[in-house]
């Protein structure tokens, strides 16, 4: 790849930035091509970054949201020869939620032809003789193509990925019915991951918007996406999202099941829920949040809380328990649920339905009682070869964050922790991406494997395109800060490349290496719009004449003989060099333009 070539590609309009291009690392087989982002620096060097944006940023691939993405994993799944296609469950009108009871203009009710996914017909696939999970393979010592793919992305040996999955310390969410994904691994030994939530609701949003939010979120770095739709067209929206998603998709099946019973929690049944789970397994959902830890006896523990139960799934199950005065049907049928998920390789995300919704409720009896039950369920899931993550809070003041990770790791046998924030204070609605970004960075440093983003609209409304970007960027910062603090081998290289560019006044390189090149460039141009300013050896903080970086650079040139220089050499060189400095007329400035 020549830099000219790169430059040409860099001008592709949908790139949003210049100076980098999409590239691939090839594994042990030609169809194992791992996407990377190569940033081309003006000093001739390249920096290689992890890339989640999928084929959408690859100019050699023509994508069409009406056809969906190519089934990258199809040959790998087929070659394993342990799955079979079958007719599958027929799609029913109620699968799309209340739409059929609330017809839209021009909609006759029933499947909505103008919104149905128009891609090629497909039959669902499932394991022929039981578990086809990455966990089952890892335990048998098999390194799958998915594991090698994820290992190449992380820059670690495939064996490490297999071992972490086998031990239950990592998951690789990859439903056999979602062959479009680029495999990735979630675990504390790997790069901290970020999940972005999308989904329509009864109040607002449309199918098109959700697909757009998906590609927008992954472009900025979302590693997984959860479709939390609760309104109309639930099944149809999910189909569009799955067929166009290069990242694993998560859902909360309870939301759709509730719509199927008209929103009446007490009318929920195991059969309706079970049918919904199978529907989603066949579509290709990669991981599912299941609120099986909200036990009947835990509900009263929330009675004297400041903010009760704030998890929607948690409150639905609490209402069901109250209505029937019976044990949570997700708990009592958990083993059967495992039997279903294992034949599709759907990963559990055991939901924390009793997570605190205010700092006052953090780390209380209700929260930790549920966590202990999640630990028990985690062992059941693993006995069935079902990959499992554990969800975590919520709202937690800084001094109570570490206890959350330590307890979860102990109680859940080091299963990957997947937390929402946590928010470190309740007083800043409209800035909860920041109140939670603080907690997210800390909890990730201490061992959380994936962070669920929070947008500026948290508590206030549904995130729009800008909120999704702000949420993802904020959480990429938290995740990367944690990777640095954990000493991840590749993390520091990115910071160093950007700091070198900053010290050497390579403004374009700073922009291209930034998490958000567009905004960095725009902010810089507000003060110094001229193209020349981007190569000028000064920045707007000090003005054109004096620049601390420049002086510092002159010091560096005088004494910086590189790591090889001993302190003695440096000390010796100092006197001579500082005389030179004076003799040279004390040129500590930059040439002034005019």
Segment 259 to 288, residues that bind a second copy, using CB under 8 A: 263-266
The reply to whether 489 sits near a second copy by the rule CB under 8 A is: no
Residue closer to a second copy by CB (options 86, 546) is: 546
The reply to whether 590 sits near a second copy by the rule CB under 8 A is: no
**Number of H-type helices and E-type strands within the chain:** 21, 15
State which of positions 55-74 bind a second copy (CB under 8 A).
none
Orientation of helix 270-283 relative to helix 253-260, angle to 10°: 120
Residues 6+ away with beta carbon under 8 Å from 182: 34, 35, 52, 54, 72, 149, 153, 246, 247
CB of 155 to a second copy, least distance (A): 17
Residues 6+ away with beta carbon under 8 Å from 409: 417, 447
Run of H or E residues at 482:
helix 465-485
Is 459 labelled a binding residue? yes
Of 23-31, 237-245, 385-393, 576-584, which segment contacts a second copy by CB under 8 A? 576-584
State which of positions 112-151 bind a second copy (CB under 8 A).
none
The reply to whether 311 sits near a second copy by the rule CB under 8 A is: yes
Is 418 labelled a binding residue? yes
Is 353 labelled a binding residue? yes
The reply to whether 213 sits near a second copy by the rule CB under 8 A is: no
The reply to whether 53 sits near a second copy by the rule CB under 8 A is: no
Among 427, 530, 532, 593, contact with a second copy (rule: CB under 8 A): 427
Is 130 labelled a binding residue? no
Residue closer to a second copy by CB (options 151, 501) is: 501
CA dist 239 and 145 (Å) reads: 25
Is 60 labelled a binding residue? no
Strands 170-171 and 347-350: unpaired
Among 315, 333, 387, 404, contact with a second copy (rule: CB under 8 A): 315
CA dist 398 and 445 (Å) reads: 13
The reply to whether 441 sits near a second copy by the rule CB under 8 A is: yes
Report how far apart the first and last C-alpha atoms of the chain are (Å, whole number): 40
Of 161-169, 173-181, 275-283, 551-559, which segment contacts a second copy by CB under 8 A? 551-559
Of 116-124, 156-164, 406-414, 459-467, which segment contacts a second copy by CB under 8 A? 459-467
**Neighbour count for residue 147 (Cβ, 10 Å):** 26
Among 288, 294, 332, which Cα is nearest to 310's? 294
CB 350 within 8 A of CB 377: yes
CB of 439 to a second copy, least distance (A): 8
Residue closer to a second copy by CB (options 1, 460) is: 460
Is 321 labelled a binding residue? no
Among 360, 372, 489, 535, contact with a second copy (rule: CB under 8 A): 360
CB of 380 to a second copy, least distance (A): 26
Among 288, 494, 509, 512, contact with a second copy (rule: CB under 8 A): 494
CA dist 208 and 217 (Å) reads: 14
Among 38, 312, 402, 534, contact with a second copy (rule: CB under 8 A): 312
State which of positions 366-425 bind a second copy (CB under 8 A).
397-399, 424-425
Phi, psi of 414, rounded to the nearest 5 degrees: 65, 20
The alpha helices in 343-421, defined as continuous H runs, are 365-383, 401-411
Residue closer to a second copy by CB (options 412, 497) is: 497
Strands 224-227 and 249-251: parallel
CB 367 within 8 A of CB 354: yes
Among 165, 174, 310, 330, contact with a second copy (rule: CB under 8 A): 310
Is 53 labelled a binding residue? no
Q: Where are the beta strands (DSSP E) in 228-357?
A: 249-251, 287-290, 347-350
CA dist 279 and 392 (Å) reads: 27
Residue closer to a second copy by CB (options 161, 317) is: 317
Of 6-14, 155-163, 217-225, 533-541, which segment contacts a second copy by CB under 8 A? 533-541
The reply to whether 28 sits near a second copy by the rule CB under 8 A is: no
Among 116, 307, 364, 407, contact with a second copy (rule: CB under 8 A): 307
Residues 6+ away with beta carbon under 8 Å from 315: 308, 309, 353
Residue closer to a second copy by CB (options 111, 199) is: 199
Among 440, 431, 373, 430, which Cα is nearest to 405's? 440
Per the annotation, binding residues for substrate are 197, 226, 255, 291, 311-313, 352-355, 391, 418
Per the annotation, binding residues for Zn(2+) are 395, 459
Per the annotation, binding residues for [4Fe-4S] cluster are 539, 542, 547
């Amino acid at each position: 790849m020549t830099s000219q070539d790169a430059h040409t590609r860099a001008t592709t309009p949908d790139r949003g930035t210049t100076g980098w291009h999409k590239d691939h690392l090839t594994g042990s087989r030609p169809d194992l091509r791992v996407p990377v982002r190569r940033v081309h620096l003006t000093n001739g060097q390249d920096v290689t970054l992890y890339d989640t944006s999928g084929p959408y940023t690859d100019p050699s691939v023509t994508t069409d949201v009406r056809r969906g993405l190519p089934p990258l994993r199809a040959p790998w799944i087929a070659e394993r020869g342990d799955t079979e296609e079958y007719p599958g469950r027929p799609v029913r009108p109620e699968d799309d939620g209340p739409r059929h009871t609330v017809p839209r203009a021009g909609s006759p009710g029933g499947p909505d032809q103008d919104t149905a996914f128009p891609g090629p017909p497909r039959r669902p696939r499932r394991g022929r003789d039981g578990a086809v999970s990455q966990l089952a393979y890892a335990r048998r010592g098999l390194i799958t193509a998915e594991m090698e793919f994820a290992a190449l992305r992380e820059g670690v040996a495939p064996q490490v990925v297999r071992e972490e999955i086998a031990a239950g310390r990592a998951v690789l969410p990859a439903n056999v019915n979602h062959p479009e994904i680029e495999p990735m691994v979630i675990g504390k030994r790997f790069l901290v991951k970020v999940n972005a939530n999308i989904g329509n609701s009864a109040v607002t949003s449309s199918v098109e918007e959700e697909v757009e939010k998906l590609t927008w979120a992954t472009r900025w770095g979302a590693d997984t996406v959860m479709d939390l739709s609760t309104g109309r067209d639930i099944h149809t929206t999910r189909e569009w999202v799955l067929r166009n998603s290069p990242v694993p998709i998560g859902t909360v099946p309870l939301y759709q099941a509730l719509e199927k019973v008209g929103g009446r929690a007490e009318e929920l049944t195991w059969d309706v829920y079970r049918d919904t789970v199978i529907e989603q397994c066949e579509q290709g959902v990669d991981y599912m949040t299941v609120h099986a830890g909200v036990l009947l006896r835990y509900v009263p523990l929330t009675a004297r809380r400041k903010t009760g139960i704030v998890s929607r799934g948690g409150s639905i199950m609490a209402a069901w328990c109250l209505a029937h005065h019976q044990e949570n049907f997700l708990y009592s049928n958990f083993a059967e649920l495992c039997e279903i998920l294992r034949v599709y390789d759907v990963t559990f995300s055991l939901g924390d339905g009793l997570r605190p919704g205010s700092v006052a409720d953090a780390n209380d009896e209700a929260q930790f009682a549920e966590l202990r039950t999640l630990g028990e369920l985690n062992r059941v899931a693993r006995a069935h070869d079902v990959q499992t993550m554990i969800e975590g809070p919520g709202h937690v003041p800084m001094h109570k964050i570490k206890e959350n990770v330590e307890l979860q790791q102990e109680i859940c046998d080091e299963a990957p922790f997947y937390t929402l924030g946590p928010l470190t204070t309740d007083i800043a609605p409209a800035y909860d991406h920041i109140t939670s970004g603080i907690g997210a960075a800390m909890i990730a440093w201490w061992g959380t494997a994936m962070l669920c983003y929070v947008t500026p609209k948290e508590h206030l409304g549904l995130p729009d395109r800008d909120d999704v970007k702000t949420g993802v960027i904020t959480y990429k910062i938290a995740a990367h800060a944690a990777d640095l603090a954990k000493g991840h081998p590749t993390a520091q290289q990115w910071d160093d490349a950007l700091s070198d560019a900053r010290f050497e006044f390579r403004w374009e390189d700073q922009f291209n290496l930034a998490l958000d090149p567009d905004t960095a460039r725009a902010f810089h141009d507000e003060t110094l719009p001229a193209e020349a300013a981007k190569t000028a050896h000064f920045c707007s903080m000090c003005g054109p004449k004096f620049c601390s970086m420049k002086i510092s650079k002159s010091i560096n040139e005088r004494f910086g003989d590189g790591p090889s220089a001993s302190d003695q050499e440096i000390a010796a060189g100092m006197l001579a060099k500082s005389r030179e400095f004076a003799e040279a007329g004390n040129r500590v400035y930059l040439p002034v333009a005019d």
